[in-house]
Structure 1
Amino acid sequence: MKYDNFAVNFNRMQKTTSSLIILFLALMMSSCAGIKYLTVETREPAQVNLPSNVLSIAIVNNVLQQPDEVGHDSIPIGHTQAERVKAPADSAAIFYTEALAQFLDEEDYFHRVIHYNEPLRKDNDFFRERPLEPETMNRIRKETGADAIISLDKLIIETKKRDHFKQQGYIYADMTGKIHSILRVYMPTMEGKIPAVQYTDSIHWEGFDIQDGKAYADIMLPSREEAVKLLSVRAAEKMTYVFAPHWEMQDRWYYTLPNSLMREGEAYAKGSQWEEAIEKWEAFYNNSSKKTDKAKAASNIALAYEMLDDMEQALEWATLSNNLFIESTAPNSLERRRSLLYKNEIERRNNNSNRLNMDDL
Structure 2
Amino acid sequence: MRKYSIFMILVAIGFSSCMKSVSINTLRPADINIPNEIQSITLVDRTAYERDAIGVIEGIITGEGINEDQDGVMAMFSSLQNSLRVSPRFDVVLASEKLRGQNILGSFPDPLDWRQVDQLTRKYNTDALLAIEIFDSNFIITNGKRKNTRTVEDADGKKVEEEYTEFFAEGVGNTRIGVRLYDAKNRTVIDQDIYTQNKTWEASATSLKEALAQLVSKSQATKYLAQSVGNTYASKIAPMPVRISRSYYTKPKKNSYLSKGARQASVNQWESAIETWKAGLKKSSDTKASGRMAYNIAIGYEILGDLFLAHEWAGKSFVDYGEKKGRSYASQINNRMITEEILDEQLQLPEPKSQTETGNKDKLDKPTIKIKMKDN
TM (norm. structure 2) is 0.64
How far residue 343 of structure 1 moved from its aligned partner, in angstroms, is 5.1
How far residue 358 of structure 1 moved from its aligned partner, in angstroms, is 10
Residue 8 of structure 2 corresponds to which residue in structure 1?
Answer: none
Q: For residues 71-118 of structure 1, give each alpha carbon's deviation from its aligned partner in whole angstroms, at most 9, with x where no partner exists.
A: 9xxxxxxxxxxxx962454222222123322432x3263574210132
Q: Residues 328 and 254 (structure 1 numbering): CA distance in 2 closer, same or farther, change over 3 Å?
A: closer
Are 1:254 and 2:233 an aligned pair? no
Paired residue secondary structure (1:351): helix
In the TM superposition, what are the counterparts of 1:173-322 in structure 2 within 5 Å? 173-190=169-186, 192=188, 194-196=190-192, 199-208=195-204, 220-257=214-251, 258=253, 259-285=255-281, 287-288=283-284, 290-321=286-317
Instruction: Extract unaligned runs of 5+ from structure 2.
Output: 1-13, 148-163, 349-376
How far residue 328 of structure 1 moved from its aligned partner, in angstroms, is 6.0
What is the CA–CA distance in structure 1 between the aligned matches of 2:175 and 2:334, rounded to whole Å? 31
Q: For residues 301-349 of structure 1, give each alpha carbon's deviation from its aligned partner in whole angstroms, at most 9, with x where no partner exists.
A: 2322222233343344445556679x566xxxxx68xx73x55554443
Which of 107, 110, 117 in structure 1 is aligned with 2:96?
Answer: 117
Note if contact 1:62-1:151 (Cα within 8 Å) is conserved in structure 2. yes
Are 1:350 and 2:337 an aligned pair? yes
How far residue 229 of structure 1 moved from its aligned partner, in angstroms, is 0.5
What is the CA–CA distance in structure 1 between the aligned matches of 2:105 and 2:16, rounded to whole Å? 65
Structure 2 residue identity aligned to 1:151: A
Which of 93, 100, 118 in structure 2 is aligned with 1:138?
Answer: 118
Note if contact 1:209-1:221 (Cα within 8 Å) is conserved in structure 2. no
Are 1:86 and 2:63 an aligned pair? yes
How far residue 128 of structure 1 moved from its aligned partner, in angstroms, is 1.8
How far residue 235 of structure 1 moved from its aligned partner, in angstroms, is 1.7
Which of 78, 81, 84 in structure 2 is aligned with 1:98?
Answer: 78
What is the CA–CA distance in structure 2 between the aligned matches of 1:285 and 1:200, rounded to whole Å? 55
Q: Residues 86 and 43 (structure 1 numbering): CA distance in 2 closer, same or farther, change over 3 Å?
A: same
Quote the RMSD (CA, aligned, Å): 4.3
Structure 2 residue identity aligned to 1:242: K
Query: Among the aligned pairs, what percent are the same residue?
Result: 24
What is the CA–CA distance in structure 1 between the aligned matches of 2:41 and 2:76, rounded to whole Å? 16
Q: Residues 85 and 112 (structure 1 numbering): CA distance in 2 closer, same or farther, change over 3 Å?
A: closer
Q: Residues 166 and 351 (structure 1 numbering): CA distance in 2 closer, same or farther, change over 3 Å?
A: same
What is the CA–CA distance in structure 2 between the aligned matches of 1:115 and 1:47, rounded to whole Å? 23
Structure holding more strand per residue: 2
What is the CA–CA distance in structure 2 between the aligned matches of 1:190 and 1:317, rounded to whole Å? 46
Structure 1 residue identity aligned to 2:122: K
Q: Residues 189 and 68 (structure 1 numbering): CA distance in 2 closer, same or farther, change over 3 Å?
A: same
How far residue 34 of structure 1 moved from its aligned partner, in angstroms, is 1.0
Which of 24, 39, 44 in structure 2 is aligned with 1:60?
Answer: 44
Structure 1 residue identity aligned to 2:238: A
Note if contact 1:49-1:358 (Cα within 8 Å) is conserved in structure 2. no
Are 1:152 and 2:132 an aligned pair? yes
Q: Residues 301 and 142 (structure 1 numbering): CA distance in 2 closer, same or farther, change over 3 Å?
A: same
Q: Residues 110 and 194 (structure 1 numbering): CA distance in 2 closer, same or farther, change over 3 Å?
A: closer
Residue 29 of structure 2 corresponds to which residue in structure 1?
Answer: 45
How far residue 225 of structure 1 moved from its aligned partner, in angstroms, is 1.5
Residue 78 of structure 1 corresponds to which residue in structure 2?
Answer: none
Structure 2 residue identity aligned to 1:351: I
Q: Which has the higher contact order (CA 8 A, sep 6+)?
A: 2
Residue 158 of structure 2 corresponds to which residue in structure 1?
Answer: none
What is the CA–CA distance in structure 2 between the aligned matches of 1:150 and 1:265, rounded to whole Å? 51
What is the CA–CA distance in structure 2 between the aligned matches of 1:133 and 1:114, rounded to whole Å? 20
Q: For residues 279-316 of structure 1, give each alpha carbon's deviation from its aligned partner in whole angstroms, at most 9, with x where no partner exists.
A: 22334345545554344333322322222233343344
Aligned length: 305
What is the CA–CA distance in structure 1 between the aligned matches of 2:276 and 2:187, rounded to whole Å? 54
TM (norm. structure 1) is 0.67
Paired residue secondary structure (1:128): coil
Structure 2 residue identity aligned to 1:145: N
Instruction: Extract unaligned runs of 5+ from structure 1.
Output: 1-29, 72-83, 330-334
Paired residue secondary structure (1:184): strand
